[in-house]
Structure 1
Amino acid sequence: MLDKRAMELPLEEEVRGKNVKEPFCSQYRCGSLVGSGGFGSVFSGQRLSDGLQVAVKQICGDRVQQWARQPGELSPVPMEIALLQQLSEVGGHAGVVRMLDWFEVEGRGFLLVLERPPQCQDLFDFITERGALPERLALRFFRQIVAALRFVHAHGVVHRDIKDENIVVDTRTLEVKIIDFGSGAPLKDVAYSEFEGTRVYSPPEWILAQSYEAVPLTVWSLGVLLFDMVCGDIPFERDQEIIKATPIFTRRLSKECQALIRWCLAYRPEDRPSLEEVLSHPWMEGGEEEEEEEEHGSPLSPSL
């Protein structure tokens, strides 16, 4: 149920953020509610200085599971802010949502100001409207997602909730971005024993032993995501199906595509590929020739 406080934006009281002198309401205008969930609420917004369209994510302090210390800040901040700041400081990535600013609201939690493509739709809605995607379009999205995750991991962050709802598609350019780092954590080599992601995207080792490592978790969720794109729905709904780790393909797919999905959904974590191995898989490389043809012919229609 939506927190009534979330509907009171735009805010009139003073709001503070790191290295910010002007309050939130002097710099941004908040619009309509875009979505809400356990993480808080997201509103459309606009930067007053230049009219830039943004997303404003409100996080209630009492819902924050993990906190982090920021240099120069007296109080801890939600881990999501720290992780997005970390990725921003190294230049960011086209496939990862960029945090433009953040503020702490007295008594109300935190506001994250995020970039927002003017014509975007999350991948869940994109698939719901169009049904299963052609392999070529799925490949176009999937390659971008894996490349973005390589960047995220290379800079010490693990997302931990990769799913269609956390990928947004620019419907004009077909470029995608990973959003919502609310379940994210600093990347580490040892196993994690806590998980705040989405259960139907979680691997067998979490269901059975409440333990997982960052890369095998990420690759498993990528296998679920790729199946979802090319078949129109996720492969597993129940714990027993996850533990069996045997996807049943509901559409005719190329052998290479099926092979990559099965590899990502290998039961044993050590049998799954690395992100680099995913990118170099024959199915992933097979689309490069088609993209070259597109450059000399008609572009891929966003309506696919």
Structure 2
Amino acid sequence: VLNVTSKYGTRQISTHFISSDHDILGERGYKVDRILGEGSYSRVKSALWKKPGSQDTVQVAVKIINRMTAPQDFLDKFWPRERDVMQIMDHKNVIRMYDIFSHGNKIYITLERAARGDLLDYVQLKGSLSNQEAHKYFTEMCNGVKYLHSKNIIHRDLKCENVLLTANNSIKIADFGFARIMADSDISRTFCGSAAYAAPEVLRGIPYEGATSDIWSLGVILFIMACASMPFRDTSLSKILNDQKSDLNFPDKQKLSKRYCHLVSSILKYDIKARYRLTDIMHHDWMTLTPCD
């Protein structure tokens, strides 16, 4: 209890409502370290967490959402979808949610921590990845997406920033803010995600199958990993669409394997009927044969 004095006299209020995130998390076994990221209505903090009933601690990322500043559309539609999706996921290549609770006007989500950051930062730092490294990461991404789609979960915002790297050099698909559960027969009419990674039908506003839009995004990521550049100019919508209709322009094509170029080109087909599905990708020679540089 805290005494607060004003011109109207002194009154007592409970400090329960003004406790800091550090105090609130500390009461639940968290030792907060630092801020990893911050947005207009949420922030992510690094922490060590001692699970209830265990003496072991695990490094986690705690996402804190402020209901007071979050858009109503997010609270009514996107957050319930994200919560429902996160609660059913359990795969080695998908970020896991350990805990979720509310306190006052805030929602606290405890997530598995990927200590090495995201794939975009990694490619920007290292440049083009080797054939072997790109093969490893892409195989793990495909395994994660295959699992999601088997649960009828469509990510709808796959991009390098949402692919994380763990301390043991494994891939984790993250950020399910636009995800939703869709049956095979369901059609989406909402534009989600980043234009640079979006399929032509999504950019054109045509109702689309969620799974095919995720596959297109995987193709963009695969191009970026090996080429360290975007496959399409993203300065305007018209330029993206024009580039998507044209043959891919691979930089330093002589350094890239023919199998790799064929796979990427097959995923990024403008004609959705000719575009590879996940089964086609996973049975492609570049995926099944031992990669070499």
Following superposition of structure 1 onto structure 2, how do residues 205-244 of structure 1 map, counting pairs within 5 Å?
A: 205-236=201-232, 237=234, 238-244=236-242
Question: 2-side partners of 1:26 and 1:260: how far apart?
Answer: 48
CA contact (8 A) 1:167 1:178 kept: yes
Question: 2-side partners of 1:38 and 1:151: how far apart?
Answer: 31
Identity %: 29
Any unmatched runs of 5+ in structure 2?
Answer: 1-19
CA contact (8 A) 2:191 2:205 kept: no
Which of 155, 158, 175 pairs up with 2:154? 158
SS at match of 1:81: helix
Cα pair distance change 1:24/1:199, threshold 3 Å: farther
Cα pair distance change 1:64/1:11, threshold 3 Å: farther
Aligned to 2:97: 99
Aligned to 1:268: 271
Question: 2-side partners of 1:254 and 1:107: how far apart?
Answer: 53
CA contact (8 A) 1:68 1:79 kept: no
CA contact (8 A) 1:100 1:113 kept: yes
Which of 260, 264, 269 pairs up with 1:257? 260
Question: 1-side partners of 2:105 and 2:59: how far apart?
Answer: 26
Tell me which amino acid in the other structure corresponds to 1:32: R
Q: TM-score, normalised by structure 2?
A: 0.81
Residues 1:48 and 2:50 are matched in the alignment = yes
Aligned to 1:124: 120
Q: TM-score, normalised by structure 1?
A: 0.78
Which of 75, 96, 110 pairs up with 1:113? 110
User: Whose radius of gyration is greater, 1 or 2?
Assistant: 2
Q: Deviations over 1:25-72 (max 9, x none)?
A: 322232211012367221101113532110001223323645689xxx
Question: 2-side partners of 1:251 and 1:184: how far apart?
Answer: 35
The number of residue pairs the alignment matches comes to 260
Cα pair distance change 1:164/1:64, threshold 3 Å: farther
Residues 1:185 and 2:180 are matched in the alignment = yes
SS at match of 2:161: helix
Aligned to 2:142: 146
TM-fit CA distance, 1:177: 0.5
Which of 40, 54, 58 pairs up with 2:64? 58
Aligned to 1:298: none
Cα pair distance change 1:9/1:242, threshold 3 Å: same
CA contact (8 A) 1:29 1:46 kept: yes
Tell me which amino acid in the other structure corresponds to 1:94: K
Cα pair distance change 1:100/1:266, threshold 3 Å: same
TM-fit CA distance, 1:269: 2.0
Q: Deviations over 1:64-112 (max 9, x none)?
A: 645689xxxxxx963211101022xxxx11000110010123123x111
